[in-house]
Amino acid sequence: MSIVEFWEHGLSPDQQQLVDTLAKSLRPAQALWLSGYFAGFERAARAGVGPAAGEALGTSVPAAAEAVAPLRTLTVLYASETGNSAALAKDFVKAAGEAGLPATLCDVAAYKTRNLKGEQDLIIISSTHGEGDPPQPAVAFFEFLEGRKAPKLNGVRYAVLALGDSTYEIFCGAGKRLDSRLAELGATALEPRLDCDVDYDQAAAGWIKKLVATLAPAAAPASARAVVRAVSAEGAASPASAPVFDKRRPFMASVIDNLVLTGRGSSKETRHIELSVADSGLQFEPGDALGVLPRNRPSVVSAILESLKLGTDTPVTVGEQSTTLGEALSRQFEITAATPRFIDNWAELSGADALKELRGENNASARAAFLRENHIVDIIRRFPVKGVGAEAFLKGLRPLQPRLYSIASSHASLPDEVHLTVAAVRYALYGEPRFGVASDYLAIQAEPDTEMPVYVQSNPHFRLPEDDKPILMIGAGTGVAPYRAFLQEREVRGVTGKSWLVFGERNFRTDFLYQTEWQDFLKEGVLSRMNVAFSRDTDSKVYVQHRLKEQARDVYAWLEEGAHVYVCGDASHLAPDVHTILGDIVAEEGGMSRAAATDYLGQLQQDHRYQVDAY
């Protein structure tokens, strides 16, 4: 659509062609400045100081036009691991555009840090990974911002929206680091930082609305606002449109099959689950994840109701909907792991001094240790409250959140199906069996023909390269799931690029996930090479990083040939251990210092040739 179609008054064909040509060459900030410039002519004409109606505009700038100050440039950055920050950043840009504010949207992983000193208004929305770390794709940005090369930001205005999980000791740590550092560099906060827990929707929406109102021009001509809106929609570097089905409106997928992958005698249970997404329109690429909205285990619901001495049919209101307590605990709230919110609420209800002492930021360490050792039901039993009301109890709970699982199948190979590889989480606490919420739901409750709510979560930081590029895939346990999708995709596309899989698990006989499929891929040439590590088959535990070290010369040769490296699995051990070994390999085989090897890996990350999906 031509931008000039938004104007109230028509233009001649020659004028329209000139405007269209100019519009295509403008950046959003330039277009916004120009809209203010021409708005000045309109005001000038009304004031009688500019050209009269029907007269051509001269080269001089009317006084009224000079008085119309151009809006400041607005950049919205996001640092995202699972897509939540990215989604909120899109919401912000949309709200800003509707208010007449064009904004440039960018993932910090792709942001050119040299542009930082030229920013005027900067909005950053960041999630936190683990204990206060930035999302993996954002590490380089954080290193630059917190390093000595970061520029002074005097004159820059900023705001930070931080996402986190309050069950971690360092809550919203990445956002707090950004806020502190931007202030240190001289930037001025537009609004105080907002720290959001996993149920961030309402709080984040309010923050966005308030901040956009602060930034929006007090009064812009209607015509200028329309131009701004059009330029924002066409010029902002926003990702593709959101799918029809998403976190807020999931698709009901039916279970096709639910199989145990691990053999008899295994120390763990890993399942292969196939879901039908026929007629859903869901699109996904290798590396993407499937969001699953689980239900709580019935026995956990029963244990809580029994401890509270409340009935399953007790009426409650959740939001604006009336339901029963049993249904709310089953489908709508997190009822396993306790949170600081629950401690605060139960401390008030019970009056327990031991809980009151755990509140506040100064007690984060002790509180985190307590939460690791006590679920909600344990706290209720240890600090009982006589006659507690159902809705008073629910105030301390947070909404049940979806869980993300790497998709283990290729859309090109199986367009109507989504496959998952799920390890059931089971352990004992206080002599009782405990279960992971989503993994237990998928393992036990997801029987064939069962329907479950799902949606696709894009993961642009874990993508296959061009078909001719070599790929080195490193994973342990269920971290092998996306590589199954990678190879299925390459098989369909007839890719000739080399591929190497390094896979680790506990035991060869019981835990070699998808063994026959890997062998078939090897036989067909889709998989060029495979090395395995089974940590519990020998007295000395051998992990994937040890296999990489054994093949150091070939690993480095592949890197030098342009291979793309992928790491998927445990964030606390696998990812850092593999990173260390890769640094050792590059230093030794490349004859480099440790600092040079670190820079080498850093460059691979910047070039998107070293991608990590850790959880």
Phi and psi at 228, nearest 5°, equal -55, -45
- Over the stretch 403-447, which tens digit does the pLDDT of each residue have? 999 999 999 999 999 999 999 999 999 999 999 999 999 998 889
CB 4 within 8 A of CB 11: yes
Q: How far apart are CA 108 and CA 136, in angstroms?
A: 11
- For the chain, the average pLDDT equals 88
pLDDT band at residue 574 under the 50/70/90 scheme? very high
Exposure class string for 106-144: b at 16+ Cβ within 10 A, else e:
bbbbebebeebeebebbbbbbbbbbebbbbbbbbbbbeb
**What average pLDDT does range 209-234 have in this prediction?**
55
Q: What is the pLDDT of residue 610?
A: 97
- Crossing angle of helices 481-493 and 515-524, in 10° steps, is 30
Q: How far apart are CA 174 and CA 476, in angstroms?
A: 27
- Over the stretch 17-71, which tens digit does the pLDDT of each residue have? 666 666 655 555 555 555 655 544 444 444 444 444 444 544 444 444 444 445 7
List the structure tokens of 351: 């009056």
Residue type for position 142: F
CB 240 within 8 A of CB 412: no
pLDDT band at residue 81 under the 50/70/90 scheme? confident
Q: How far apart are CA 456 and CA 135, in angstroms?
A: 19
Nearest residue to 38 (alpha-carbon basis) of 228, 216, 218: 228
Q: How far apart are CA 412 and CA 46, in angstroms?
A: 60
Q: What are 431-439's contacts with CB under 8 Å, separation 24+?
A: 434/336, 434/375, 435/297, 435/300, 435/336, 437/294, 437/296, 437/297, 437/334, 437/336, 437/400, 437/403, 438/292, 438/294, 438/403, 439/403
Range with the lowest mean pLDDT among 216-225, 406-415, 474-483, 505-514? Answer: 216-225
CB 168 within 8 A of CB 367: no
Q: How far apart are CA 443 and CA 456, in angstroms?
A: 20
Q: How far apart are CA 435 and CA 223, in angstroms?
A: 58
Q: What is the pLDDT of residue 227?
A: 36
**What average pLDDT does range 497-504 have in this prediction?**
97
CA end-to-end span of the chain = 43
Q: What whole-number percentage of the chain has pLDDT above 90? A: 77
**What average pLDDT does range 528-543 have in this prediction?**
94
Ordered domains of the chain (ranges, CATH): 3-67 (no CATH), 74-216 (3.40.50.360), 251-294+402-457 (2.40.30.10), 298-394 (1.20.990.10), 471-614 (3.40.50.80)
**What average pLDDT does range 260-285 have in this prediction?**
96
pLDDT band at residue 234 under the 50/70/90 scheme? very low
- Over the stretch 289-306, which tens digit does the pLDDT of each residue have? 999 999 999 999 999 999
- Over the stretch 173-208, which tens digit does the pLDDT of each residue have? 999 999 999 999 999 999 999 999 999 999 999 999
Nearest residue to 405 (alpha-carbon basis) of 615, 183, 128: 615
- How many CB atoms are closer than 10 A to CB 150? 17
- Over the stretch 235-254, which tens digit does the pLDDT of each residue have? 334 444 444 798 889 999 99
**What average pLDDT does range 538-553 have in this prediction?**
95
DSSP secondary structure, 438-449, as one string: HHHIIIII--TT
For 47, counting Cβ atoms within 10 Å of its Cβ (0-12 exposed, 13-18 middle, 19+ buried), the class is exposed
Q: What is the pLDDT of residue 482?
A: 98
Integer CA distances (angstroms), 72 to 156, 158, 249, 420, 509, in order: 10, 12, 36, 46, 63
Q: Which DSSP symbol is given to 208?
A: H
Q: Quick one: three-class SS letters along 84-116?
A: HHHHHHHHHHHHHHHCCCCCEEEECCCCCHHHH
E strand spans, 244-374: 251-260, 270-276, 289-292, 315-318, 321-324
Q: What is the pLDDT of residue 389?
A: 95
CB 504 within 8 A of CB 535: yes
Integer CA distances (angstroms), 482 to 404, 409, 612, in order: 13, 7, 12
- How many CB atoms are closer than 10 A to CB 24? 10
Q: Which DSSP symbol is given to 240?
A: S
Number of H-type helices and E-type strands within the chain: 23, 21
Look at residue 358 and tell me whether its pLDDT is greater than 90: yes
List the structure tokens of 405: 């699982």
- Over the stretch 130-186, which tens digit does the pLDDT of each residue have? 888 999 889 999 999 999 999 999 999 999 999 999 888 899 999 999 999 999 999
